[in-house]
Amino acid sequence: MEKMIFGRYIPGNSFVHKLDPRSKLLFVFAFIIVVFFANNTLTYGILLAFTLIVILLSKIRLYFLINGLKPVIFLMLFTLILHLFMTREGPVLVDLGFMKIYEEGLRQGVYISMRFLMLVFMTSILTLTTSPISITDGLEVLLNPFKKIKLPVHELALMMSISLRFIPTLMDETDKIMKAQMARGSDLSAGPIKDRLKAVVPLLVPLFISAFKRAEDLATAMEVRGYRGGEGRTKYRLLKWHAKDTIILVALVIMAILLWMLRG
Amino acid sequence: MDKKRLLMMVEIAIFAAVGLVLDQISFKMWAQGGSISFVMVPIILMAIRWGLTAGLATGLLIGIMQMMFGAYIVHWLQAILDYGLAFTVVGLAAIIRKPLLQATQSLNKTKMALYIVIGTLLGGSLRLVCHLLAGVVFFKEFAGDDNVWMYSIIYNGSYMLPATIITAIIAILLFTSAPRLLQKVQ
């Protein structure tokens, strides 16, 4: 249980760590769209160079990025192989007898896997360098316009912070209940699936009951302290927009324009 | 602020956290964030306890938090479908709320089980639809245009089907043996 870490945030002091969460969120969102502009060697090269610069600036060890890739490596290989064998254009590169690999297939396969890699790396860098609580603060500000269509942005952000605060607490609690039930002879990790599912109930009931109790206590505490919604509420954590936040967004816009002009 | 609404908000927040914790302890065995897990149980519980809005909000919070904890985003539309919508729509299980609460009042366990199954199946299939569409977007962009629906159905169905069945079984066992979980404090 101790091994499970929630979130993959790695505290640090790099350029990327110090950026405002708002600019990072905007940046990643725009990047997800801009990636699809690239369609030839030059544009993919520019994108790759840009991604490498961001990786260097974040000072995240490559190990963490590669690690995050493990669960999706299958999908990546699948799409790569699909392109290798299914695209039948251009001259034949390899003839295996039963299957032929064409130049266009190899090219498409490499492009697609690069696109995949860059997307996974960029979104990983966001979650590796920004704590969930700052992402929440950033999202609250960025989603402010949606208040006009009656989306309770403040309430959602508040609930998100409460949720994030209670995840470690509930994790400990679950661990404790699991150990208590194991001490009484229940076995969650072995035996036929039917027994294992039955063993989950005595785990969930105390967990849910204590969660309800926590919720009630917290609601009472908030009421006592006069919580009355988002209007006029001041903040403990303030966001500061620096020059470097503007710089990275400008850099992204310039790259997007460049890609648009150079794409084939 | 109205005490009831405040309590609802806090319960949603805490049960979203419960959902993430359950997601971690259940069988983690599928790639790309899709897992056979009990994550839908708290969403369904909130949908029944407080109604549609609470169910949707719990789902939305779980989706966004999963995204924060390291999501796999390959396309903006896929991100919205996989993380923004997929869990939110599970909250629509709230449509069986009234008949289920009535069955609970009269302690009719067969009827309770029936409504729980209907609610879970509805939530699970709507979630599957979201993942299916997200999968189609992914395979269309990354695997070319052939058989995108088939790939998506095989991939997403392979974990959503067992996940929905397991959620239904757990929900039936849980809510019939502890019906007071479903009732709000007065």
Same structural domain, A155 and A210: yes
Do B15 and B45 form a contact (C-beta atoms < 8 A)?
yes
Same structural domain, A85 and A151: no
Do A201 and B177 form a contact (C-beta atoms < 8 A)?
yes
Q: What is the complex's ipTM, to 2 decimals?
A: 0.91
pLDDT for position A170: 93
Same structural domain, A72 and A109: yes
Of A150-154, A190-194, A206-210, the range with the highest mean pLDDT is A206-210
A57-75, pLDDT tens digit by residue?
999 888 888 877 777 788 7
Q: Is the pLDDT of residue B31 over 50?
A: no
Same structural domain, A204 and A247: no
Search chain B and give the residue with CA nearest A172: B21
Partner-chain contact A32 B75, CB within 8 Å: yes
Partner-chain contact B17 A116, CB within 8 Å: no
Same structural domain, A85 and A168: no
pLDDT for position A2: 40
Partner-chain contact B143 A166, CB within 8 Å: no
Which residue is listed with tokens 């999501």? B71
From chain B, the residues in CB contact with A36 under 8 A are 75, 141
Do B62 and B38 form a contact (C-beta atoms < 8 A)?
no
State the best of A89, A208, A224 to mutate against chain B, taking most chain B CBs within 10 Å.
A208
In a domain, A230, yes or no: no
Same structural domain, A14 and A73: yes
Beta bridge partners of A100: A95
From chain A, the residues in CB contact with B79 under 8 A are 32
Q: Is the pLDDT of residue A137 over 90?
A: yes
State the best of A86, A212, A228 to mutate against chain B, taking most chain B CBs within 10 Å.
A212
Mean pLDDT throughout B57-80?
A: 90
How many domains is chain A built from?
2
Same structural domain, A32 and A68: yes
Same structural domain, A116 and A198: no
In a domain, A5, yes or no: no
State the alpha helices, DSSP H only, in A130-242: 132-142, 153-183, 193-224
Mean pLDDT (chain A, rounded): 88
Selecting from A197, A208, A218 the residue whose C-beta is nearest the C-beta of B10 gives A218
A100-115, pLDDT tens digit by residue?
788 888 888 899 889 9
Partner-chain contact A120 B72, CB within 8 Å: yes
Q: What residue type is B170 in one-letter code? A: I
Partner-chain contact B74 A222, CB within 8 Å: no
Search chain B and give the residue with CA nearest A189: B27
Selecting from B31, B68, B181 the residue whose C-beta is nearest the C-beta of A72 gives B31
In a domain, A234, yes or no: no
- How far, CA to CA in Å, does B90 sit from each of A153, A171, B108, B165? 20, 23, 24, 14
Count helices and strands (H / E) in chain A.
10, 2
- How far, CA to CA in Å, does A63 sit from each of A18, A66, A67, A100, A242? 21, 5, 6, 35, 30
Selecting from B6, B12, B173 the residue whose C-beta is nearest the C-beta of A227 gives B6
Put residue A90 in one of left, alpha, beta given phi > 0 → left and psi -120 to 50 → alpha.
left
Partner-chain contact A162 B14, CB within 8 Å: yes
Partner-chain contact B13 A115, CB within 8 Å: no
Q: Is the pLDDT of residue B143 over 70?
A: yes
In a domain, A232, yes or no: no
Same structural domain, A246 and A121: yes
In a domain, A135, yes or no: no
In a domain, A141, yes or no: no
Same structural domain, A167 and A98: no
- What is the widest separation between alpha-carbon atoms in chain B? 56
In a domain, A176, yes or no: yes
Search chain A and give the residue with CA nearest B60: A156
**What are residue A100's phi and psi, to 5 degrees?**
-120, 140
Partner-chain contact A223 B1, CB within 8 Å: yes
Same structural domain, A23 and A125: yes
Domain carrying residue A154: 146-224
How many CB atoms neighbour CB A41 within 10 A? 12
Partner-chain contact A82 B143, CB within 8 Å: yes
For the ranges A226-240, B19-33, B59-73, the lowest mean pLDDT is seen at B19-33
From chain A, the residues in CB contact with B6 under 8 A are 219, 222-223, 227
Same structural domain, A85 and A124: yes
Partner-chain contact B178 A7, CB within 8 Å: no
Taking the C-alpha atoms of residue B21 and residue A172, their distance in angstroms, rounded to an integer, is: 10
Mean pLDDT throughout A236-262?
A: 94
Partner-chain contact B31 A135, CB within 8 Å: no
Q: Name the minimum distance, in Å, from the CA of A244 to any CA of chain B.
A: 23
Q: Is the pLDDT of residue B107 over 50?
A: yes
Q: What is the DSSP string of A135-157?
A: HHHHHHHHTGGGGGGT--HHHHH
Taking the C-alpha atoms of residue B151 and residue B136, their distance in angstroms, rounded to an integer, is: 8
Search chain B and give the residue with CA nearest A227: B1
- In this structure, is the dihedral angle defined by the CA atoms of residues B101, B104, B109 and B110, taken in order, positive or negative? negative
Alpha carbon dihedral A53, A111, B32, B93, in 10-degree steps, equals 110
pLDDT for position A92: 80
In a domain, A2, yes or no: no
